Each structure stands twice: as structure tokens, then as C-alpha cells.
Structure 1
Amino acid sequence: MFRTLLLTASICAALTAPLSAEGSGETIITPDQFEALSTGKTLYFERNGRFFGAEQFYTRRRSLWMNGAKECLDGEWFAKNDLICFDYGTDLDPQCWHFIERSGQYSARAEGESAAFDIHLYDIDNTPLDCQGPAVGA
């Protein structure tokens, strides 16, 4: 009887615990948490100490992405289970990521990739991206 209660308690705890990502101490944040973190903000990402890109997030899950070459694309994001997927209207879309929190730091891991390819969030502010051209900006 005690074993049954212990097993039931363990299963319930596992079902209610946050999803764990690759590695100890990592938690995949939910799409709702991502929306709360990003809406109205600009997020800056790096990989291996080099600028990877920045994304400005608007309401209604719209965004503006600036890649490492400072080229910009309008986009939108949507949730697919625990993934955050981005569509910029290109042939490569959608691009889906797990957003991961570890010790107060955030990273993004492309669907199917290992932690070695994570991009790391290094800054969040309210500054609009400086994108030029007629087809960019929300």
C-alpha cells in the first residue's frame, strides 16, 4: 500500500513539474511565459560571443527580426506545444525553438538541435530596431 501511494505521488509530481530541457537545471518556458517576457520588448541574442540577431516583439504575436547581417524581416510567432515557432514568410519557415531558462538566464534551442547550438539572450530593452527599407517594421 505504501509503495502504491509513493508511486502515485511520484507520478503526480512528474506530471505537474515544469518540462526539463537537455541538461540539469534547465526549464522550457511556456508560450505564455515567452509572450509575457517578450511583448513590447526587443531581445538580443548571441552565439559563441558574437551577435546572432535581435527581435522586437509587438502585440498580437507580431515581431521584427534583425539577423547578424543587420537584415530585417517582419514576422509572427505561434505556439506548437512547448515550441515557439516563427514565420517570416520565407521558404525556411516555420522555425521552431524551445526557450529555456537556467539560473535566471535564457537561451533558445532550435527544434531537434543540441545545446551546443543554443543562442543566448544577453539583453532585453525597449529600444526599437533600426531597420531600413519599405518592407520592414510593423
Structure 2
Amino acid sequence: MFYSLLLALFSAQTLGAETPMSGAEFERYSTGKTIHYADQNQSFGAEQYLPNRHVRWSYQNGPCKDGIWYENDELICFVYDDDPEPKCWAFYQRNGHLVAIYENDPENPPLLETKQSRKPLLCLGPQIGV
């Protein structure tokens, strides 16, 4: 229910008239934080924003992926060590929270910031055992 209300407040249609965050604005907002995101009714994942535009991503408490981000026009694009294909997003700031629209597939629902902290992202180690 909470995520549905947030989604209604931050729909792509209402964001269309706004200007996405610049790389400098995004860097000021995110560096040093771990930000948790949700789409529609469920947790989506979390990203730790490290110095020098480095990141660490975990999809729903799965293994972590390291990468970098860069600005491309009005988009923030991420490239991860295991995938050279850029993942580009338009980030907006609404009521003190991030809203992210995935530009590789704009039909996807927006991701909404649900929580942030200064704690590092918990990364599970490799699968070991029988």
C-alpha cells in the first residue's frame, strides 16, 4: 500500500515536465549513502554510492555488483563489472526522495527511494558448500 501511494505521487507523467538531476546534483545527493529502492509494491534493491562515482548494487539482497556511473546528457548511466551495457536513468528529486525512470525501457515503473543510510551495503559472499 505504501509503495502504491508513493508511485501515484511520483508517476512518470507528473515527472515529465520536470528537469532530471544533473550529474553534479546527483553526485552531491548520493555520494556516501546507501539508497534503497522499490518499484510498485515491492523492494527492488539497494545501491551504495562510493567516492569518484563508483557504486555497489544489490538486487533484493542478492550478490553485489561493483560499477561506475557517469552523466550522459540528462541521464545517469551505470556500467557494472559483469555487464558492459550501460543502464541509463533519469533521476528526479521529489519531497526529499529520489525517483528514477529507466530510460532503456521507459515502460518499466519508476523506482522510488524508500530508505537511505550511511551504512555500507551488506554483500553476501560467494556460494560455498555442498
Length-normalised TM-score, structure 2:
0.76
8 Å contact kept, 1:105–1:121: yes
| Higher share of residues assigned strand | 2
Q: Which runs of 5+ in 2 are unaligned?
A: 1-11
1:28 aligned counterpart, secondary structure:
coil
8 Å contact kept, 2:102–2:108: no
Distance, in Å, in 1 between the alignment partners of 2:34 and 2:22 is: 19
Distance, in Å, in 2 between the alignment partners of 1:31 and 1:115 is: 23
Q: Which has more radius of gyration?
A: 1
Distance, in Å, in 1 between the alignment partners of 2:87 and 2:55 is: 14
8 Å contact kept, 1:26–1:101: no
Identity %: 35
User: Which stretch of structure 1 is more off in the superposition, 109-118 or 68-77?
Assistant: 109-118
Length-normalised TM-score, structure 1:
0.72
8 Å contact kept, 2:38–2:112: yes
Aligned equivalent of 2:62: 70
Distance, in Å, in 1 between the alignment partners of 2:98 and 2:107 is: 12
Shift of 1:70: 1.8
Note closer, same or farther for the CA distance 1:99–1:119 as it changes in structure 2 (3 Å cut): same
Aligned equivalent of 2:97: 105
Shift of 1:112: 4.8
Read off the aligned partner of 1:23 and give its amino acid letter. Answer: T
Q: Given the alignment of the two structures, is residue 122 of structure 1 paired with residue 114 of structure 2, yes or no? A: yes
Distance, in Å, in 2 between the alignment partners of 1:121 and 1:39 is: 15
What is the RMSD computed on CA atoms of the aligned residues?
2.2
| Structure 1 ranges of 4+ moved more than 6 A | none
